[in-house]
Amino acid sequence: MSSRRAALVTGAAQGIGRAAALRLARDGLDVAVSDLEHKAADVEQLVNEIRGYRRNSVAVYGDVSSEEAVVALVDQTVSELGSLDVVVANAGIFEAESILTSEYTWQRVMDVNAKSAFLCIKHAANMMVKQGKGGRIIVASSLAGKQGAANVGAYCASKFAVRGLVQASAAELKQHKITVNAYAPGFITTPMRTRRSPVSNTALEIASLSHIMTGLDRSALPTQGTPEEVAGLVSYWASEEAGYVTGQTWAIDGGTYF
Ligand code: NAI
């Protein structure tokens, strides 16, 4: 890998994505910060913070469930920052709803969480193969991608899909020195966990915890993790030292699920 490296982080306006973008900048990478257009104020603030670390940064907007948008994110990153060496496909949505859910909720959750992972891997890998210097692809899975639970069927399916996709693409891309790994957080204190569900008007924090803990050892109820702790794992996988680790979905959940 060349000494100057550039990353693209999706869903970076807040939460885990924001922490990951800052961490990669502190590690010395230039960072393209991506989210939906309506998050522009938060994204622009993050761009300024990253520039404060004396790294180059650019804001790139788009819905990651759209192939056209993901192609544009990759192209803009390369045209503004010079290359694409690390992608953190972090953007995602959480809905707690019965398996009797609407087809719309199922489709939207699958599109934003699973299809987006496929699109980010596909277009990042195409760019990295063209560049010919390997790369690092990091995707957001979940504890819910390792353990099914009541009332989070669409979310679980989308995060299990990420796990399979990570294994398959790691096998395919290792010949190009591109690693593909996923983090599987348990309970991380981010805006995702504190907003109220538009469907049930319950706090998603409570809904998600109790559903995902069903069937697991409740005595192992974890303390909450921080976005910075997930960013630490992202930092490792993005590093040159992590070249021998690929196809993994690593839990970061306080020992909830082994
Ligand atoms: P968050 O809700 O705080 O932030 C997610 C960001 O993604 C937001 O800024 C949002 O605008 C953006 N986003 C949503 N849909 C998008 C789309 N279609 N296109 C582009 N951007 C979009 O979420 P958080 O907690 O930081 O989670 C990040 C990732 O980690 C997600 O994939 C989530 O499923 C996963 N995760 C989080 C856990 C937690 O406890 N916070 C637990 C397990 C997994």
**Domain-located, residue 107:** yes
Quote the tokens at residue 229. Answer: 């702790």
Is the ipTM above a cut-off of 0.85? yes
**Domain-located, residue 222:** yes
The helix-helix angle for 116-131 and 67-81 (nearest 10°) equals: 40
Q: What range defines the domain where residue 46 resides?
A: 6-251
**Which residues partner with 176 through β-bridges?**
none
> Ligand 1 atom 6: the closest Cα is on which residue?
11
Number of domains in the chain: 1
CA–centroid distance, residue 116 to ligand 1 (Å): 12
**Domain-located, residue 80:** yes
Instruction: Write the pLDDT tens digit of every residue in 87-133.
Output: 999 999 998 888 887 889 999 999 999 999 999 999 999 999 999 99
pTM, 2 dp: 0.94
Contact 17, 88 (CB under 8 A): yes
pLDDT band at 195 (very low <50, low <70, confident <90, very high): low
User: Of 174, 235, 24, 19, which Cα lies nearest the Cα of 8?
Assistant: 24
User: Of 157, 139, 168, 152, which Cα lies nearest the Cα of 249?
Assistant: 139
Find the CATH number of the domain harbouring 104: 3.40.50.720
What is the C-alpha separation between 105 and 151, in angstroms, rounded? 12
pLDDT > 90 in the chain, percent: 76
pLDDT band at 136 (very low <50, low <70, confident <90, very high): very high
What is the C-alpha separation between 207 and 190, in angstroms, rounded? 15
The pLDDT of residue 222 is above 60 = no
**Domain-located, residue 258:** no
Distance of CA 213 to the CA centre of its chain: 22
> Mean pLDDT across the chain, nearest whole number?
90
Q: Is the CB of 64 under 6 A from ligand 1?
A: yes
Q: Is the CB of 36 under 6 A from ligand 1?
A: yes
The pLDDT of residue 166 is above 70 = yes
**Domain-located, residue 135:** yes
Q: Is the CB of 65 under 6 A from ligand 1?
A: yes
- Top mutation candidate among 44, 192, 209, 256 for ligand 1, by most atoms within 8 Å of CB: 192
pLDDT band at 210 (very low <50, low <70, confident <90, very high): low
**Domain-located, residue 28:** yes
What would the mean pLDDT of 53-81 be, rounded to a whole number? 98
Among 61, 155, 183, 257, the one annotated catalytic: 155
> Ligand 1 atom 42: the closest Cα is on which residue?
185
pLDDT for residue 115: 98
Q: Which atom of ligand 1 is nearest to the CA of 227?
A: 26
What is the dihedral angle through the alpha carbons of 108, 114, 118, 121, rounded to the nearest 10 degrees?
120
What is the C-alpha separation between 147 and 37, in angstroms, rounded? 33
What would the mean pLDDT of 176-195 be, rounded to a whole number? 90
- Top mutation candidate among 8, 9, 14, 16 for ligand 1, by most atoms within 8 Å of CB: 16
Contact 152, 218 (CB under 8 A): no
What amino acid is encoded at 165 in this protein? L
Instruction: Write the pLDDT tens digit of every residue in 7-56.
Output: 999 999 999 999 999 999 999 999 999 999 999 999 999 999 999 999 99
Told to judge if 183 belongs to the known catalytic residues of this protein, a careful annotator would answer no
The bridge status of strand 30-35 relative to strand 57-61 is parallel
Told to judge if 146 belongs to the known catalytic residues of this protein, a careful annotator would answer no
Phi, psi of 172 (to 5 degrees): -75, -35
**Domain-located, residue 256:** no
pLDDT band at 219 (very low <50, low <70, confident <90, very high): very low
**Domain-located, residue 1:** no
CA–centroid distance, residue 23 to ligand 1 (Å): 17
Tokens 């859910």 — which residue?
A: 101
What is the C-alpha separation between 139 and 114, in angstroms, rounded? 10
Contact 10, 33 (CB under 8 A): no
